Structure 1
Amino acid sequence: MIKILVLYYSQHGNTRQLARHIGRGIEQIDSCEAVLRTVAEITTTAAITPNAPTNQTIDPIVSHHDLSQCAAIAMGSPVRFGNMAAPLKHFLDTTSSEWLSGTLIGKPACVFTSSSSLHGGQETTLQSMMLPLLHHGMILVGIPYSEPLLHTTSHGGTPYGASHVNHGINKQLHPDEIALAQAIGRRLATIAGKLNG
């Protein structure tokens, strides 16, 4: 079984929904299993405010063992001022030993994000997540324009990765966003299968 890590941070649940659909796309490919993991919150007295939303999830917290066991990674974060969220960046900053040992070299990876506005920084956030993956020697996978929905969607979805636009009124993913999330999951799994075949 080819294990593909779907690693994400989600504060309000939108990025988590994308992770679930990417996982469903992964598992549409024979012999591939999606392993969903999240990252720990950063808990400092300066960052904690009463009644602040938290990364509420039933998925386990990622471990460094998960990185060595996976054949590929799908990584997601909500948009934070055009960048990935601090908890995900904090975890990535602890992966120096994997970088030194080359644990992730040659493994495929894709990225995904969500935001509350169409022009809220989705593409820069996707690119910010790509940078550490490139430093780890991973092979980046996007959504090609052979996916017809990429030409027509007025919701989330970019050639850089799957995405969701909340528009502040509806937390449910649009069918286009679901289809594109599953498409990138299938593509990631297909490439991981070929590289591990």
Structure 2
Amino acid sequence: MSQPTPYVLVLYYSRHGATAKMARLIAEGIERSGLEARIRTVPEVSPENRASSPSVPASGAVYCTEDDLRQCAALVLGSPTRFGNMAAPLKYFIDGTSSLWLAGSLVDKPAAVFTSTASLHGGQESTLLSMQLPLMHHGMVLVGLPYTNSELTETRGGGTPYGASHHAGVDGARALDNHESALCRSLGQRIAMLTRKLHAGAAHVKS
């Protein structure tokens, strides 16, 4: 039986659209490197004890399923900053992945993170680190951005070695600049390259 084509899951939550734009740029980098990028999002959470989101979003990426996560070859996780942490909807989704943790479904798969913030020093790096923690518990292999990407030292907006980031401004109107966009694409290309190498190595071992 043929093996399914490997894909990289780009999973994000976006409130005002900046994180969604980053997800599309990262997906562009992945697909430039010859892998499928599967873009998914998560629903809002509500303090009320009833469903508050439709089962299918009216527009944009569809909601992620457990199978999307289980079957991915790699994962890129994105969220806007909420007080230096990932947003509640994304954390709620991640908190519900204990069955995947128990089964070791994500062990040894590459993973990367990205974020967008309203202020330049508004917790970009702590948010990226907060998203990395559950990925480490899942046994994933973390992928960052090396300083061979010259944009890391040239940027006047976002950009960190822990993952791609964007300074959206207090009103959310600041567009991704050239450096931020390039780093998003580079992150996608790097995780795709490492995913292909791991799959090739695994195939060689099996043969």
TM-score band w.r.t. shorter chain: over 0.9
- The question of 1:178 aligning with 2:178 is answered no
CA offsets per residue over residues 37-85 of structure 1, 9 Å max, x none?
0011102349xxxxxxxx9741110000001211000000000000000
2:6 paired with 1:2: yes
CA-CA distance at 1:151 after TM superposition:
1.1
CA drift of 1:88 comes to 0.3
Structure 2 counterpart SS, 1:58: coil
The partner residue of 1:188 within 169, 175, 191 is 191
For residues 80-114 of structure 1, the C-alpha deviation after alignment (integer angstroms, 9 at most, x for no partner) is: 00000000000011100000000000000000000
Distance 1:116 1:82 in 2: 11
Aligned partners of 2:130, 2:58: CA distance in 1, in Å? 24
Amino acid paired to 2:84: G
Q: Which residue is equivalent to 1:12?
A: 16
Q: Spell out the pairing of 1:43-192 with structure 2 (5 A cutoff).
A: 43-45=46-48, 57-168=59-170, 170-192=173-195
Amino acid of the structure 2 residue aligned with 1:127: L
Give the aligned partner of residue 34 of structure 1: 37
Question: Given residue 109 of structure 2, which amino acid in structure 1 is its aligned partner?
Answer: K
Which 4+ runs in 1 deviate beyond 4 A?
A: none
Q: Aligned equivalents of 1:130 and 1:57: distance in 2?
A: 28
In the alignment, the residues of structure 1 paired with residue 127 and residue 59 of structure 2 have an alpha-carbon distance, to the nearest angstrom, of 22
Aligned residues: 188
TM-score, normalization by structure 1: 0.92
**Secondary structure class of the residue paired with 2:82:** coil
Normalising by the residue count of structure 2, what TM-score does the alignment of the two structures yield?
0.88
Consecutive unaligned residues of structure 1, counting only runs of 5 or more, are 47-54
Task: Tell me how far apart the structure 2 counterparts of residues 182 and 57 of structure 1 sit (CA, whole Å).
Answer: 23
Indicate the SS of the match to 2:32.
coil
Once the two structures are aligned, what percentage of the paired residues are identical? 53
Matching residue's letter, 2:148? S
- Letter in structure 2 aligned against 1:9: Y
User: Which has the higher Rg, Structure 1 or Structure 2?
Assistant: 2
Q: Is the 8 A contact 1:4 1:189 kept in 2?
A: yes
Letter in 2 for 1:13: G
